[in-house]
A and B are shown apart, each in its own frame.
Chain A
């Protein structure tokens, strides 16, 4: 009787696709992940009807959290309209009757994302789920998982710091563009998923809970709200976000909305020149509509 499925009206799937036992497993792991900020909690992952790398880890989190009154946003590399985002959104709509979906960051209660954190600051009534391909930042220095677990437990990141510093000596700066190792609450160092450096400061003192799901590695970890998140850095080489200045030192603007304080994607135009546009499509739409309003044009 416990964990009974609520399969009314002969639906082919349980609400949220996963059976209630699979949800309980993920739910218990989520609560421990929140209680131990940055620690990778192992869980028994169920097979999903899609290839790994499709975001199954993130999706299992989303499906274990989701309720019928949810407003869900799915983004892939900042865009709500990529094939991946559309497919995941359709899957959620199909398996979670009653749930509504949106592209507007301001309106959603649950966001599943790959590679970006929205530009619009998240709020306390939102949860962000990030899809993670490689959860353990220590893999680059230690092949044995048992040894890595001990290193994490002892917060022994000396070898990771040495590796980072070697990069600096070689290239003159920290060259990591994505997955920047970040220390949570002064203890665990996490792989924050392939978000750009631009998004890393958003993990610090976030109003929203941020959850990370790695389907292949079967790990869940969390950055709770109002928790310290510090990118690893050195006193002589501080952490820096991406620099979007042109040759003249001016901040590049989005070619579509004119925004000068968002993360930009670079495109090559037909004529071969470079152009820049907001990576966060909802943010770009918002800026465009604001600009039109101030110019008195219809939004």
Chain B
């Protein structure tokens, strides 16, 4: 049986360690293209994190029907899902779970597919846990409404959402604690 690398345990371990680095160091671009052998980075992340215990929403139809049985995740509405897959070109026209004061981990993890991580005209200035001082991050193909909505969603810590942007080969995370400014303006 020829098993695609993203479903293999050793590849998932490597992808997971890149996720650990990405969430530990917001704005740090993690390249996983080589270890996932041509699969899209977002698919590899889903394969790494999903199983029958997790709920997953796909409001923009990003997931191939054939992948659902392999992921084993329970399909859920976008308002109630622990994980959400979204198309970053489109405005986020939904309200994700933000968690509660008692259980902030129920705030959704949103995987946002975009054209380019680390390139493009949109330059974010980042500060917060995991950022040594301040750093910048460029993103290509992200609808501007995302940053406005995110500011709303993460406005009352510890509630919030954790974003993971990806292109074909790279990942970058913006957990709920990261402060974003664009040309000096806070988001």
Residues of A with C-beta under 8 A to B100: 153
Cβ contacts B1-40/A at 8 Å (1 or 0 each): 0010001111011101101100111000000000000000
Rounded to whole Å, the gap between the CB of B80 and the closest CB of chain A is 17
Residues of B with C-beta under 8 A to A20: 9, 12
Find B130's partner among A39, A187, A188, A226 (CB 8 Å cutoff).
Answer: A226
Does chain A have a CB within 8 A of B49? yes
* Cβ B157 vs Cβ A225 within 8 A: no
Cβ contacts A169-190/B at 8 Å (1 or 0 each): 0000000000000000101100
Does chain A have a CB within 8 A of B58? no
Does chain A have a CB within 8 A of B50? yes
16 CB < 8 A contacts A-B: A2-B47, A4-B7, A6-B9, A27-B16, A31-B109, A31-B162, A35-B109, A36-B105, A36-B175, A36-B176, A65-B17, A146-B102, A153-B100, A225-B25, A225-B130, A228-B129
* Cβ A5 vs Cβ B9 within 8 A: yes
* Cβ B70 vs Cβ A31 within 8 A: no
* Cβ B24 vs Cβ A28 within 8 A: no
Rounded to whole Å, the gap between the CB of A36 and the closest CB of chain B is 5
Does chain A have a CB within 8 A of B54? yes
* Cβ A35 vs Cβ B176 within 8 A: yes
Cβ contacts B122-138/A at 8 Å (1 or 0 each): 00000001111100000
Chain A, residue nearest B162 (CB): A35
* Cβ A226 vs Cβ B132 within 8 A: yes
Find B132's partner among A37, A127, A150, A225 (CB 8 Å cutoff).
Answer: A225
Does chain A have a CB within 8 A of B72? yes
Assuming A27-B49, A31-B20, A67-B17, is B132 touching A149 (CB within 8 A)? no
* Cβ A1 vs Cβ B70 within 8 A: yes
Does chain A have a CB within 8 A of B103? yes
Residues of A with C-beta under 8 A to B132: 225-226
Given the complex of chains A and B, what is the CA–CA distance between A36 and B130 in angstroms?
Answer: 11
Assuming A41-B105, A224-B130, is B25 touching A1 (CB within 8 A)? no
Chain B, residue nearest A26 (CB): B16
Chain B interfacial residues counted at CB < 8 A: 43
Assuming A24-B49, A153-B102, is B13 touching A67 (CB within 8 A)? yes
Of listed B49, B51, B109, B133, residue having the most chain A CB within 10 A = B51
Does chain B have a CB within 8 A of A12? no
Residues of B with C-beta under 8 A to A3: 9, 12, 51, 72
The 6 closest A-B pairs by CB, nearest first: A153-B101, A35-B175, A227-B129, A6-B9, A149-B102, A32-B105
Residues of A with C-beta under 8 A to B133: 226
Rounded to whole Å, the gap between the CB of B120 and the closest CB of chain A is 24
Known: A27-B49, A187-B158. 13 other contacts (CB 8 A): A2-B7, A2-B71, A2-B72, A3-B51, A4-B9, A15-B10, A32-B105, A34-B20, A34-B23, A35-B109, A65-B17, A67-B10, A187-B157
